[in-house]
Structure 1
Amino acid sequence: MRRSYLRTNKPYKLYIAELMLKIPRIMIGAILTSISLEVILIPNGLIDGGITGISMMLSEIMGFSLSVLLFLLNIPFIFLGYVHLGKRFAFSTAVGISSLTISTGILEVFSPFLIGNTILLICIGAILLGLGIGIVLRNGGALDGTDVLALLISSKTSLSVGEAIFAINIFIFILAFLFFGLKGAVISIITYYIATTVVDIART
């Protein structure tokens, strides 16, 4: 049965009790995602999809801090989630995005230590990325603006959240082709396809 992320009438006392359990999980999911980005994907010239992917490209091209871009570009989608999915979802998403921003900012100061476009490395990065996103989605939040859009699309169509995320991000990978060349774009697409598959598994 498809998990619903739409508004709920669950009593606030019960919601607060559940939230105390969900917040640490959301933070763990965000940390796994930041490790995938900063330790594996970015040092190896790969990009993520969505707002995170756009932030990675802007960071690479203009030299802006990735963690700052992640926070600023995702703010409008927190409000979108508030309007369409409710304030509880918006709060969980704000926690997830804030955790991702902080953990990414911490990891930015460390030198890359896992470099080399090996199949194993790509798979590890993809699995960590998908697992992190999936954990956050399962606990009622999101880490990226396109995750919010994907939840809305999934609630109104037959697409799974992972399929919706992948479909939205085709445009991002076209930009990746323009900026990073065919090889980087293709490897990023493969990585992200693996990640979106893991997202659907982690959510169930």
Structure 2
Amino acid sequence: MKGKKPYKFYILDLIFKIPWIIIGAMMAAISLEVILIPNGLIDGGITGISMMLSDKYGFSLSVVLFILNIPFVLIGLKHLGKRFAFLATLGIISLTISTAIIERSSTFVEGNFILLIFIGGLLLGMGIGIVIRNGGALDGTDVLALLISNRTSFSVGESILALNILIFLVALIIFGWKGAIISIITYFIATMVVDIVRA
């Protein structure tokens, strides 16, 4: 009987976390498809790479997101365990489905550009933070950031930002100085929110 009790709590805890991961993924998808992409901005990490490939070659963002994140889920499975791999897979699939749905609706928001940057970064950071707080991930770099954070004094947000320097340098070429710098500012806001939500 004693052996079954922890397992019961484990399942209940997992069931509680699943809706939050889906909600976090949906928030990130709204930030990407409704605010960032229509305004020529990119996210960091594998999501940012997927956005650049989608913009340059016309690939579906949701499909590229899913394919490029598979190796990182396998890394998470090896180093962070089955539970993390399951929740990360759930997060990535939820993000993929959410972006696919919003992608088809062609929804966008207009208004003050500075306000949109702030809202986009805030919403993205909250989405990522909620997912990580509940044991999952939305992006391959989230997986790497968690590994770095577990082994160093860097926070998850700091690790994510450091990993994305190269991606934003590539963005300079594709989106130009203005698009890349504004993307960095947006992502900096997002990484600060990640650490606040995850704390």
TM range (shorter): over 0.9
Task: Decide which structure has greater helix share.
Answer: 2
1:187 aligns with 2:182: yes
1:139 aligns with 2:128: no
Q: Which moved more, 1:115-124 or 1:40-49?
A: 115-124
CA deviations over 1:143-166 (Å, ceiling 9, x no partner): 000000000001111100000000
Q: In the alignment, which of 38, 44, 49 is matched to residue 44 of structure 2? A: 49
Alignment of 1:1-204 (within 5 A): 11-115=6-110, 118-204=113-199
Find the aligned partners of 2:43 and 2:106 in 1 and give their Cα distance.
20
Match of 1:7 in 2: none
In structure 1, stretches of 5+ residues that fail to align are 1-9
Find the aligned partners of 2:149 and 2:29 in 1 and give their Cα distance.
25
Task: Report the TM-score, using the length of structure 2 for normalisation.
Answer: 0.95
AA in 2 matched with 1:47: I
Find the aligned partners of 1:197 and 1:143 in 2 and give their Cα distance.
17
TM superposition outliers: structure 1 runs of 4+ over 3 Å: none
- Structure 1 residue 113: Cα displacement: 2.8
AA in 2 matched with 1:40: I
**Contact 1:44/1:117 (8 A) holds in 2:** no
Match of 1:3 in 2: none
Match of 1:6 in 2: none
- Structure 1 residue 105: Cα displacement: 0.2
AA in 1 matched with 2:166: F
- Structure 1 residue 15: Cα displacement: 1.5
Q: What is the count of residue pairs matched by the alignment?
A: 195
In structure 2, stretches of 5+ residues that fail to align are none
- Structure 1 residue 11: Cα displacement: 4.0
CA deviations over 1:96-136 (Å, ceiling 9, x no partner): 00000000000001224314561111100000000000000
AA in 2 matched with 1:79: L
Find the aligned partners of 1:83 and 1:12 in 2 and give their Cα distance.
22
- Structure 1 residue 12: Cα displacement: 3.3
Find the aligned partners of 1:113 and 1:152 in 2 and give their Cα distance.
35
- Structure 1 residue 38: Cα displacement: 0.1
